[in-house]
Structure 1
């Protein structure tokens, strides 16, 4: 009789084990707990802060993943199929990543999303202008910057902010002034902080601007000193500070901290004692950020940890003699920001603005009634012409109804039509938006005085005024 070999039953078991190992080895590994970072071999030392070239979109850049628990492992290149890729941002659940990329050389930059479990990518935007700097919004939406014309008359271009669903649908423009916007970040309170720079009538230094995701309630958040540059995205720390990298007039790049509760008056340079430059940062662990840093301008940026409490720079996490390490973010879950309601009604073509007293200014030390050159008129300036001029109420208040999504500036005049305070920063109001201000160039930390402005007892003044509309029609006929 044939005797059964003891190995006969082992062979099928061995085959099953080999098959399981093979399947597991082919299965994509989760990137949870790893660090995703953008890298570049090329020149990053001559960034264009107006076009974003070599600053917010970097030719021949790539996105890689680093396993910090096994640093001896080679980096995983996540964007092999792209000519250039940068600006990674991780979703709140840690499962996906937004990034900006060129698929082929000379392509327009578009926004893409990657599934961090199977590493599959899908294109979100299909624009004829560069799309960069994406970030996740609550409700399966995102905010990003898009390059397009911001002045129809001059054909001048800049980056405007848009939002859309994560499949690219429901695209909505949210900024309408002649400024260019980069490096947006969504704060925990649901608002968007972005680097804004006025382009018209002249180029001005960049500021941090803050607004709701629908573009309403835009206002100044932080202003650098003259000739300083805001290097990249801001980040919110658990203890309530906002951190970012800022370059001074000599292009020395340091980590700056400001308070969320008092951003205009709380600046701290945390790395002035450290020789060298910082390129970008992001929250990592308690009181620690990931920082791309180099000790001299001839070297490559490497990845370090930086303690935001002790202001100490740690040992290198990753160094590469061939590539710069640029923006690095950990693949971790984080709290979803608040989803803010919107007052926008696209069926309404106007918006309302009320001011308590045009003679109140942050620069004055006395009560406005003591001013020798008191204004009693307001001039509304459009892109190319005066939109309206009118007298304010006795208390200096005004109440106007403006065309929505139309940029304008304001200046105050005296009884002889002399300018008392020159043009303000550009403003725009979204459809159905209602806004109020204390005065002209007022202290932004003050609350309004407890008094009803006289202007609100009447109907709002239309802007453009009927007189200016008639004048414009006559000019068009000529």
Structure 2
């Protein structure tokens, strides 16, 4: 039976502090009772925990090959299971020794000498007991398990006595996006505080017990029977923000098109942001305020050093592109009282979990889903707190099988460049294996900058791992708080999804493979543990945009030092004359109900995927002979660029996107130049910077908005239709405007007939081209018109057809633009385009 110590309150009744043996844990809870509203003593069944960890290590010992496969990718070798380990006791001895040595190397204290002596004695006994004497070794495991707990709690990093955390069950839908829709929240839980978490007598306090909201729609009510998400503590440690959904009202998606005004959901099914003051001494809360409301999900608040608050919201508008009613959400910010909400990121797809680095930058996860497979790029990005200069840190073009699908809950380790996070699945939730990312290590599209803190769990989905760990909070490069559930390793199903809601407990985790249980509620899962204390405020990055002005400008500028500065080699002799600027548009309808410009087939990603994005050509700007360019861009419009040769053909193309804030002056050194290399500044001022910024020159009709009927079909009508009509019996494809129902995807699950011209159906499958030359990256000179069968045919001379320069340009722009048909998503706009009219996307 567990040996533990009664809390001080009980000691005052029973006498001096004493060891109690044989007393059921349930009785301990009853004896202690509740001292204040919402507060109760914590009972931990450490025998059960020891048995669970023993069994987990037994399983690990049967997976030696997997540990060896991950050995070079593992952050610390002691976290591995090795062939020299005979049983769980050997593993525990080795990992406890590493823990003790690390603490002793940092902090010399008298109690460590006593603990060290006890460990030496237990380790000696473990050496003397033969591996075949399993009962004796299992008993030694139990003794060392409790000693390890004491050693772990002697760590000087544990210099705080309050832990904030949530009680919250997993969402009812397993998908990286859907887990954050309030309609998928399971009611129950709350915001809790664990006092004395590193003692034998912690207490748990429900911070919202007997507390009512003081402002907003829910004023004078208590936050009960709903669900909680994403807590965050202010830098002074006195305020807490979190998201809450009432879990009432219509759970279905209630609107599609009116993004700006009506949102997407019943407001009782949306997460809204709240804040409250917390007195860490009295454990009393005050001023519980509702900050946001409406029919949008708002969550993941993040205090910014500039005094504002970043958060994730659906207010930008747009939808996921794989067949469900899934609104997109991106990074926004606001004043601390919930007013003055602004878009920080106009990205067309989902983003998650903003946090602030030591140097004041905003770190977050972005789903970069531009012209490529949807399951490959959900990795760290960084931008200034005013939304400027958004850039990928690493992994944006990684190979799926070699990396985690997603890296979530990212936080910089204070005083270090390294970042802690969770390697999570695409088709799952934000749990998996804990990783550390070192941005100073050059990215290799694989694991070079990434190390596994928990090699006992493979990456979910991409490597058939399980959703075991989550929400890590760094205390140093070797010690972390997190949640953990060993039962998740037993998950079943295609992606090792759990059976049931999960029993995540709060743990102290170290890099050596040790996990120390701090708290578990058998009735509900826990999430997001973090110290309730003041912390150093990061540097304030000065605003360099005019986005907060009463009348902000509608433009910014961008300068490129040298377009030839690239990670991949350009075709020999390439001369770049211009940049083509595209705007990409968020999907304004769910993919299941709207049009698609076309649907991505096997050629773009070597596997069928989701709907392609609508886009427009905003125009072209000149590139100087030294490779420099300088031009204006519309503010808060998501754009990407193509480098054009002297014939106007695209040689290189982004498969990502960027933007400028109002008044921003954005600078890039090249076209995807190596991130870890120092900028190669020219000896002389780039030529483009010696003049005023270029204003993009609009392209031909049919490119803005994009429209195959206006861009390509007029060329076919003038030069191709009649001849092909006369040669149909000889196998010539029809090239007229007759409407047909075409299947434009190779994915049977997404297959739907789309109304297009017969000419488009004839050309798009065999003659057009929308591959970029590689599954993950664009290969310069190996995509678009340059690689298409149609351009080859026309360039070589097709019968007696003679195309003017303008006509050939129209064909090449279409081929370089993924051979789209529509430039809109809505059926109404599609009907206008089918008649040759002009229709703009409703969401820009």
TM over 0.5: yes
CA distance in 1, matches of 2:181, 2:206: 20
Distance 1:72 1:105, change over 3 A: farther
Correspondence 1:104-253 to 2 at 5 A: 104-106=247-249, 107=268, 108-117=270-279, 118-120=284-286, 121-151=288-318, 157-199=327-369, 203=374, 205-223=377-395, 225-227=398-400, 228-230=404-406, 232-240=408-416, 241-247=418-424, 253=432
Aligned length: 443
Correspondence 1:251-400 to 2 at 5 A: 253-259=432-438, 261-262=440-441, 264=443, 266-273=449-456, 277-284=468-475, 287-297=478-488, 298=490, 300-308=503-511, 311-345=512-546, 346=549, 347-364=552-569, 371-383=572-584, 384-400=615-631
C-alpha contact 1:47 1:54 (8 A) present in aligned 2: no
For residues 362-392 of structure 1, give each alpha carbon's deviation from its aligned partner in whole angstroms, at most 9, with x where no partner exists: 123xxx6x82444333211122221112442
2:176 matched to which residue of 1? 49
CA distance in 2, matches of 1:28, 1:278: 27
CA distance in 2, matches of 1:151, 1:283: 34
C-alpha contact 1:160 1:176 (8 A) present in aligned 2: yes
SS in structure 2 at match of 1:456: helix
CA distance in 2, matches of 1:427, 1:341: 20
Distance 1:57 1:73, change over 3 A: farther
SS in structure 1 at match of 2:688: helix
Q: Offset of 1:141 from its aligned partner? A: 2.0
CA distance in 2, matches of 1:469, 1:340: 42
SS in structure 2 at match of 1:234: strand
CA distance in 1, matches of 2:276, 2:38: 13
Distance 1:145 1:412, change over 3 A: same
Q: Offset of 1:130 from its aligned partner? A: 0.6
CA distance in 1, matches of 2:672, 2:531: 40
Structure showing the higher helix proportion among its residues: 2
Structure showing the higher strand proportion among its residues: 1
Q: What TM-score, normalized to structure 2?
A: 0.48
1:444 matched to which residue of 2? 675
2:162 to 9, 34, 40: 34
CA distance in 1, matches of 2:200, 2:242: 24
CA distance in 1, matches of 2:656, 2:293: 32
Q: Offset of 1:254 from its aligned partner? A: 1.6
Which moved further from structure 2: 95-104 or 239-248?
239-248
CA distance in 1, matches of 2:349, 2:839: 31
Correspondence 1:382-421 to 2 at 5 A: 382-383=583-584, 384-421=615-652
CA distance in 1, matches of 2:342, 2:517: 42
For residues 160-212 of structure 1, give each alpha carbon's deviation from its aligned partner in whole angstroms, at most 9, with x where no partner exists: 21111111123221111212211110112111101111355564521211011
CA distance in 2, matches of 1:353, 1:42: 43
CA distance in 2, matches of 1:84, 1:269: 31
1:77 matched to which residue of 2? 206
SS in structure 1 at match of 2:393: strand
Q: 5+ unaligned residues in a row in structure 1: which ranges? A: 1-24
SS in structure 2 at match of 1:461: coil
Q: 5+ unaligned residues in a row in structure 2: which ranges? A: 1-34, 40-159, 210-222, 250-267, 459-465, 491-501, 585-614, 711-836
Distance 1:179 1:250, change over 3 A: closer
SS in structure 2 at match of 1:75: strand
Distance 1:371 1:181, change over 3 A: same
Distance 1:233 1:408, change over 3 A: same
CA distance in 1, matches of 2:639, 2:307: 33
CA distance in 1, matches of 2:316, 2:354: 19
C-alpha contact 1:185 1:193 (8 A) present in aligned 2: yes
CA distance in 1, matches of 2:307, 2:629: 40
2:116 matched to which residue of 1? none
Q: CA RMSD in A?
A: 3.4
Which structure is larger by alpha-carbon Rg, 1 or 2? Answer: 2
Q: Offset of 1:408 from its aligned partner? A: 1.0
CA distance in 1, matches of 2:456, 2:170: 28
C-alpha contact 1:374 1:420 (8 A) present in aligned 2: no
Which moved further from structure 2: 68-77 or 163-172?
68-77
C-alpha contact 1:149 1:157 (8 A) present in aligned 2: no
SS in structure 1 at match of 2:689: helix
For residues 93-123 of structure 1, give each alpha carbon's deviation from its aligned partner in whole angstroms, at most 9, with x where no partner exists: 1111110111353412111012112323111
2:103 matched to which residue of 1? none
C-alpha contact 2:351 2:366 (8 A) present in aligned 1: yes
Distance 1:274 1:378, change over 3 A: closer
CA distance in 1, matches of 2:532, 2:168: 20
1:433 to 635, 659, 664: 664
